[in-house]
């Protein structure tokens, strides 16, 4: 059985509620949507001058499109050109931007014990997730065994200025677990440069808040991975970012088993012990980037190690739903959540 979900946001912004509030409020909310990075993107701006707000949103969406095209993992792009050179055993000159991305992603991967590792692009392709449509089939066993033997990692890359070399030809970069966070930070910068101080940016459930809506904090909903609608709502402070990794957007099912796109580099297989993992990152220059990259190692680490992974990354606010639907939430985040309906049975952890 093959099931591919439509690109619904992992963190459902309460757009309908916001639109209603906008109609009643003094300052209008300008909202535009697009489909970028393989998911739905939504930008909301509160501004007294609608035309200026729409212009600022358009600039953000243009930048999203540029990043998407420049660093696409399987369509011709700067990233695929680098991957082709690595496979050929050649050094390759990249743009200063891409060189900086590699260095930052290497540092983030090391902090997460390489459970988040953008160098596993070949593994992602073996599982069929470098595609807009997923086939319900397992990887070729021989090819998977060869990848496991090689154990390629972004750590195998050496960046000298703008020249990139790799110790292993099996390395292939895929920024699918990193670029949405970068885009959030770019959006915040672009909006602030154009005088926008109150906005909400949502890239497939990766969210960053600027300011507020007429003094009221932006409110978002944390999606339940197996039920429609939000599990809980959360009010965001200025500059805060949220990142979610879940098994309910990009996956296929075969013989009654779900295979999600979140792959464990240690085993070469999808992590099956977690349904969803959400982190909240305080405001800062790279809050969006960290929110995207940090949710992956916590998701993959598993029931006994995710809290250690959170500590290594400096994450104090996180909520995890395991394969059986059991919820664990850190005390710092639990104090901020407003659960919808009867309070669920959950574990509160340090």
What is the model's pLDDT at position 342?
87
How many residues in the chain?
350
The residues pairing with 327 across neighbouring beta strands, listed in sequence order, are 321, 346
What is the model's pLDDT at position 26?
67
pLDDT one-digit tens code per residue, 123-174 = 999 999 999 899 999 999 999 999 999 999 999 999 999 999 999 999 999 9
pTM: 0.92
Q: What is the pLDDT of the chain when averaged over all its residues?
A: 93
What is the model's pLDDT at position 19?
42
Assess contact for 113 and 252: CB atoms under 8 A. no
Q: Which residues of 252-288 are buried (b: 16+ CB within 10 A; e: fewer)?
A: beeeeeebbbbbbbeebbbbbbbbbbbbbbeeeebbb
What is the model's pLDDT at position 130?
97
What is the model's pLDDT at position 27?
81
DSSP 67: H
What is the model's pLDDT at position 341?
87
DSSP 68-107: HHHT-SSSSSHHHHHHHHHHTT--EE--HHHHHHHHHHHH
pLDDT one-digit tens code per residue, 9-40 = 444 444 434 443 444 446 889 999 999 999 99
* Token representation of residue 301: 């680490």
pLDDT along the chain (350 residues), means of 10: 35 43 65 96 96 97 98 98 98 98 98 97 98 94 98 98 98 97 98 97 97 96 93 98 96 97 98 98 97 98 97 98 98 97 93
* Token representation of residue 152: 């390629």
Neighbours of 123 (CB within 10 A): 26
Domains of the chain: 11-68+196-341 (3.10.520.10), 78-166 (1.10.3980.10)
| SS3 at position 217 | coil
């Amino acid at each position: 059985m093959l099931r591919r979900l439509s690109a619904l946001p992992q963190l459902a912004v309460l757009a309908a509620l916001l639109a209603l509030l906008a109609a009643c409020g003094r300052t209008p909310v300008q909202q535009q949507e697009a489909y970028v990075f393989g998911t739905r993107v939504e930008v909301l701006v509160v501004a007294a001058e609608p035309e200026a707000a729409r212009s600022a949103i358009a600039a953000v969406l243009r930048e999203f499109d540029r990043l998407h095209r420049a660093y696409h993992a399987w369509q011709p792009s700067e990233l695929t050109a680098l991957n082709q050179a690595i496979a050929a055993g050649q050094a390759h000159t990249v743009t200063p931007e891409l060189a900086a991305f590699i260095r930052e992603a290497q540092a983030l991967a090391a902090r997460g014990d390489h459970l988040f590792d953008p160098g596993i692009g070949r593994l992602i392709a073996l599982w069929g997730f470098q595609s807009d449509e997923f086939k319900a089939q397992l990887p070729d066993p021989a090819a998977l065994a060869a990848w496991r033997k090689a154990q390629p990692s972004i750590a195998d890359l050496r960046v000298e200025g703008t020249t990139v070399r790799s110790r292993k030809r099996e390395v292939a970069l895929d920024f699918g677990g990193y670029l949405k966070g970068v885009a959030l930070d770019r959006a915040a910068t672009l909006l602030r440069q154009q005088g926008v101080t109150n906005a909400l940016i949502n890239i497939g459930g990766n969210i960053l808040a600027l300011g507020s809506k007429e003094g009221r904090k932006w409110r978002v909903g944390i999606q339940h991975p197996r039920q429609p609608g939000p599990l809980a709502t959360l009010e965001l402070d200025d500059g805060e970012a949220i990142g979610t990794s879940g098994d309910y957007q990009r996956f296929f099912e075969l013989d009654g088993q779900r295979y999600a796109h979140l792959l464990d580099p240690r085993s070469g297989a999808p992590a099956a012990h977690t349904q969803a993992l959400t982190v909240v990152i305080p405001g800062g220059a790279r809050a969006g980037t960290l929110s995207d990259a940090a949710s992956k190692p916590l998701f993959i680490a598993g029931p006994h190690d995710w809290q250690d992974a959170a500590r290594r990354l400096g994450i104090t606010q996180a909520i995890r739903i395991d394969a059986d639907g059991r919820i664990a939430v850190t005390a710092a985040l639990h104090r901020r959540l407003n659960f919808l309906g009867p309070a669920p049975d959950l574990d509160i952890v340090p």
